[in-house]
């Protein structure tokens, strides 16, 4: 039986990956941040609470897990948090990667290690971004800087100098019904579901003309697993390869939830009203950001060639899935509140 360690096991990617590995009959140990919700973590997973910044804990967890495969999915992922505390972001997203990889290699020299990197490491380009695309070394984004340094200082160096099996997955935006409501897509589906059920009144957004390369998280963890099954470690871009607008997500979610929207105005003045003229979607100047000249889109040619992977869930299907699941969840919560005694 193969043994795997997943850091960030309680997150969106961690729970889907844990389910996949349990189905494949792995023995799985997961590290989860204190206070995180374990509702989606399979009961077969041995969960340990703790923080990546605790180096002693990392070494103890690795010693207990004795992993054949390691998936480092934990870290600071929220940009607001990253900018508010860049030192902690660098410590957790960079330094701790080195500590974890070193501990794993000491316990098992044949360990296979995957680092969850990000599309944020790349310079914007008019062309789809691939593994060899230029990195944004001049960035002021602490999250992107820490990810780039971890890829270079630990993952690539471990491959080159130690001949070990380590790789980085350059993950573009990926979503699911398990995504945090801090994400734009989940905010859209959750709020519109609330409007449909009478639990919310309006959706407030920034620039709805922004475009992103969005995919389904459950399929992305399949790609990560495949990356550790091949003979030679390779860094790979994991993406949908397709750009979609924020406004498109609103329209798809509204349609599947049977909400009639009519758009008026543009830019910061854009507003969407229902059939009775009630404003349901409005733009906040505080949230509004100018559209990038070159939104980031991934080139998954190498992922298709090396691990035979490409996504099968398109953008519309992803948004519909999220909106319907949020709708049923909001209904369930409303029913639970209504049934409580006064």
What is the pLDDT at residue 92? Answer: 93
What is the pLDDT at residue 76? Answer: 87
What is the pLDDT at residue 275? Answer: 87
Mean pLDDT (whole number) for 22-31: 98
Delimit the CATH 3.90.25.10 region(s) of the chain: 184-212+244-293+314-339
Phi, psi of 210 (to 5 degrees): -65, 145
Catalytic residue set: 118, 120, 143
| Strand ranges for the chain from DSSP E | 3-7, 27-32, 46-49, 69-72, 112-118, 165-171, 174-175, 203-205, 211-213, 215-216, 236-238, 243-245, 262-264, 271-273, 279-283
Using pLDDT thresholds of 50, 70 and 90, give the confidence band for residue 303: very high
Domain 3-171 has CATH 3.30.750.24: no
Mean pLDDT (whole number) for 28-46: 95
Mean pLDDT (whole number) for 132-151: 96
Delimit the CATH 3.40.50.720 region(s) of the chain: 3-171
What is the pLDDT at residue 80? Answer: 82
Q: Report CA 18 to chain centroid distance, whole Å.
A: 15
Q: Choose between 51 and 309: higher pLDDT.
A: 309
Mean pLDDT (whole number) for 44-51: 95
Phi, psi of 208 (to 5 degrees): -80, -5
pLDDT at 22 over 90: yes
Mean pLDDT of the chain, nearest integer = 95
What is the pLDDT at residue 336? Answer: 67
Q: What is the pLDDT of residues 58-116, one digit of tens each?
A: 999 999 999 999 999 999 888 788 888 999 999 999 999 999 999 999 999 999 999 99
What is the pLDDT at residue 338? Answer: 62
pTM surpassing 0.75? yes
From the CB of residue 156, how many other CB atoms can be counted at a distance below 10 Å?
A: 17
Phi, psi of 117 (to 5 degrees): -95, -160
pLDDT at 337 over 80: no
Mean pLDDT (whole number) for 322-331: 96
Fold for the domain defined by 184-212+244-293+314-339? UDP-galactose 4-epimerase; domain 1 (3.90.25)
């Amino acid at each position: 039986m193969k043994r795997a360690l997943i850091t960030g096991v309680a997150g969106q990617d961690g729970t889907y990956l844990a389910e996949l590995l349990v189905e494949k009959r792995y023995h799985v140990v997961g590290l989860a941040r204190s206070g995180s919700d374990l509702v989606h973590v399979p009961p077969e997973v041995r969960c340990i609470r703790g923080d990546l910044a605790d180096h002693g804990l990392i070494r103890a967890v690795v010693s207990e897990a004795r992993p054949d495969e390691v998936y480092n999915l934990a870290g600071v992922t929220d940009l607001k948090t990253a900018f508010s505390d860049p030192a902690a972001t660098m410590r957790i997203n960079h330094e701790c990667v080195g500590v974890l990889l070193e501990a794993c290699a000491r316990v098992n020299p044949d360990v296979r290690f995957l680092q969850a990197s990000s599309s944020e490491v790349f310079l914007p380009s008019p062309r789809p971004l691939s593994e060899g695309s230029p990195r944004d070394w001049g960035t002021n984004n602490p999250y992107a800087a820490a990810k780039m340094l971890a890829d270079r200082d630990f993952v690539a160096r471990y491959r080159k100098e130690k001949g070990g099996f380590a790789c980085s997955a350059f993950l573009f935006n990926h979503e699911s019904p398990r995504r945090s409501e801090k994400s734009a897509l989940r905010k859209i589906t959750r709020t519109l579901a609330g409007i449909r059920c009478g639990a919310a009144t309006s959706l407030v957004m920034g620039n709805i003309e922004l475009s992103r390369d969005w995919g389904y998280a459950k399929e992305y963890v399949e790609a990560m697993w495949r990356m550790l099954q091949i003979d030679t470690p390779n860094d790979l871009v994991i993406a949908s390869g397709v750009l979609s607008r924020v406004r498109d997500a609103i329209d798809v979610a509204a349609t599947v939830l049977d909400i009639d929207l009519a758009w008026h105005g543009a830019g910061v003045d854009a507003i969407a009203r229902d059939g009775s003229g009630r404003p349901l979607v409005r733009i906040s100047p505080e949230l509004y950001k100018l559209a990038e000249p070159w939104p980031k889109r991934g080139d998954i040619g190498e992922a298709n060639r090396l691990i035979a992977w490409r996504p099968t869930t398109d953008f519309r299907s992803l948004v519909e899935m999220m909106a319907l699941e949020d709708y049923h969840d909001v209904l369930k919560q409303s029913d639970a509140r209504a049934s409580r005694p006064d």
